[in-house]
Structure 1
Amino acid sequence: MSQVQKNEKENDQAGELGSRIERHKAKSSLPKRSKIHKNKKKKSKAKIKFPIIQFLSLFFILLPIGFYGLNTYFQDRPVRVTNSDQVVVNNNEEEVTETIPTTATADDLKDNKEKDSEKAVAEKEKEEAKAKAEEEEKRKQEEQAKKKDEEKAKAQQEAEEKAKAQQEAEEKAKTQQEAEERAKAQQIADEKAKKEAAEKKKAAEIQAAKPDKDEYKVVLHTVQSEETLFRISMNYYKSQEGIALIREWNGLKGNEISNGQVLKIPIKK
Structure 2
Amino acid sequence: MSRVQKNEKENDQAGELRSRIERQKAKSSLPKRSKVHQNKKKKSKVKIKLPMIQLLALFFILLPIGFYSLYTYFQDRPLPVTKSDQVVLKEEDIESIPTTATAEDLKEKESAKAEAEKEKEEEEAEAKAKAQQEAKEKAKAQQEAEEKAKAQQEAEAKAKAQQEAEEKAKVQREAEAKAKAQQEAEEKAKAQQEAEEKAKKAAAEKKNVQAAKPDKEGYKVVLHTVQGEETLFRISMNYYKSQEGIALIKEWNGLNGNEISKGQVLKIPIKK
Given the two structures, how large is their TM-score scaled by the length of structure 1? 0.50
| Cα RMSD after superposing both structures | 4.3
Give the number of the structure whose alpha-carbon radius of gyration is greater.
Answer: 1
Tell me the matched-pair count.
Answer: 174
Percent sequence identity over matched residues? 37
Structure 2 alignment gaps of length 5 or more: 1-49, 87-96, 225-238, 257-272
- Report what 2:139 is aligned to: 143
1:122 aligns with 2:128: no
Q: Residues of 1 paired with 2:124 and 2:179: CA distance? A: 80
Q: Deviations over 1:178-228 (max 9, x none)?
A: 23212311320231132023123313422431325995578598xxxxxx9
1:173 aligns with 2:169: yes
Alignment of 1:208-219 (within 5 A): 208-211=204-207, 215=211
Point out the structure with the larger strand share: 1
- Report what 1:77 is aligned to: 75
Say if 1:178 and 1:97 are closer, same or farther in 2 by CA, change over 3 A.
farther
- Report what 2:155 is aligned to: 159
**One-letter code of the match for 1:59?**
A
- Report what 1:31 is aligned to: none
**One-letter code of the match for 1:173?**
A
- Report what 2:248 is aligned to: 242
Q: Residues of 1 paired with 2:129 and 2:195: CA distance? A: 96
Q: Residues of 2 paired with 1:202 and 1:214: CA distance? A: 18
SS of residue in 1 equivalent to 2:207: coil
**One-letter code of the match for 1:69?**
F
Say if 1:217 and 1:241 are closer, same or farther in 2 by CA, change over 3 A.
closer
Given the two structures, how large is their TM-score scaled by the length of structure 2? 0.50
Q: Residues of 1 paired with 2:81 and 2:248: CA distance? A: 157
**One-letter code of the match for 2:168?**
K
Q: CA deviation at 1:138?
A: 0.9
Deviates more, 1:110-119 or 1:208-217: 208-217
Say if 1:102 and 1:203 are closer, same or farther in 2 by CA, change over 3 A.
farther
Alignment of 1:230-269 (within 5 A): 241-242=247-248, 244-245=250-251
**One-letter code of the match for 2:112?**
D
Alignment of 1:19-168 (within 5 A): 59-78=57-76, 88=78, 96=80, 105-168=101-164
**One-letter code of the match for 2:131?**
E
